[in-house]
Amino acid sequence: DADVTQTPRNRITKTGKRIMLECSQTKGHDRMYWYRQDPGLGLRLIYYSFDVKDINKGEISDGYSVSRQAQAKFSLSLESAIPNQTALYFCATSDLRGQGGDTQYFGPGTRLTVL
Amino acid sequence: GQNIDQPTEMTATEGAIVQINCTYQTSGFNGLFWYQQHAGEAPTFLSYNVLDGLEEKGRFSSFLSRSKGYSYLLLKELQMKDSASYLCAVRDNTNAGKSTFGDGTTLTVKP
């Protein structure tokens, strides 16, 4: 079974709709992240959480909100979707323990299209 | 903040060696990562450097010079499956200990 899962994997929606993307992990990591990736571009951080009571904005948080329901779950919401939010969204987890120095482990991604 | 630079695209021949460079500027350096990302898929971890020098893992090696703000990823004996984007990420203690990703280098391996 995958350590980091995302649902849904694909979603097509219309402008103005509220959308929730969910992320679950079985790695036991404290840190979780949401990124978006646009074609030909790198990963841009939307929100991150270092533990259940910690929520922080990333570089492009406008138009998004998150909820850290438990150590294993981190959800991303688009309150009113707009076409320029069409992108590939990745959830990731990391942990300071071990030799990896905060290596990030990514979910498979959610491809979101806003019409 | 951080500034991370990588070439946008590179092309190499199957069986050859390719070096992908990454330069960065940061005030609280605490590690550099390389990730591989095939088109439409999630990034996967390749290597981690926090001290100067070369780390070797099979066909892949990664080098770091902290004084120069410079790293490279060396891929030997290139295979077609190595065609992917390679992302450099820098962890910064002055940035809440988070990693910031470069835009990635798209490598195309030709027969």
pLDDT, one tens digit per residue, over A38-89 is: 987 789 999 999 999 999 999 899 999 999 999 999 999 999 999 999 999 9
Per-residue confidence (pLDDT) for residue A95, from 0 to 100: 86
The whole-angstrom distance between A16's CA and the closest CA on chain B is 26
Per-residue confidence band for B9, with pLDDT thresholds at 50, 70 and 90: very high
User: Helix, strand or coil for residue B76?
Assistant: coil
Structural tokens at position B65: 């010079």
User: Which of A99, A102, A106 minimises the CB distance to B42?
Assistant: A106
B83 touches A: beta carbon within 8 Å: no
- Distance to chain B for A93, nearest Cα, Å: 12
Report how far residue B70's alpha carbon sits from residue A42's, in angstroms, rounded to the nearest whole number: 19
- From the list A45, A100, A109, the residue facing B48 with the nearest CB is A100
Q: In this predicted structure, what is the pLDDT of residue A41?
A: 79
pLDDT, tens digit, 9 for 90 and up, residues B24-80: 998 889 999 999 999 989 999 999 999 999 999 999 999 999 999 999 999 999 999
Non-local CB neighbours of A7 within 8 Å, separated by 6+ positions? A21, A22, A110
What tokens were used for B14?
């199957």
Residues of A in contact with B91 (CB under 8 A): 101-102
| B91-to-A12, A100, A111, B17, B86 alpha-carbon distances in Å | 34, 12, 27, 27, 16
Nearest by CB to residue A101, choosing from B87, B91, B102, is B91
Contact indicator for B22, B10 with CB cutoff of 8 Å: no
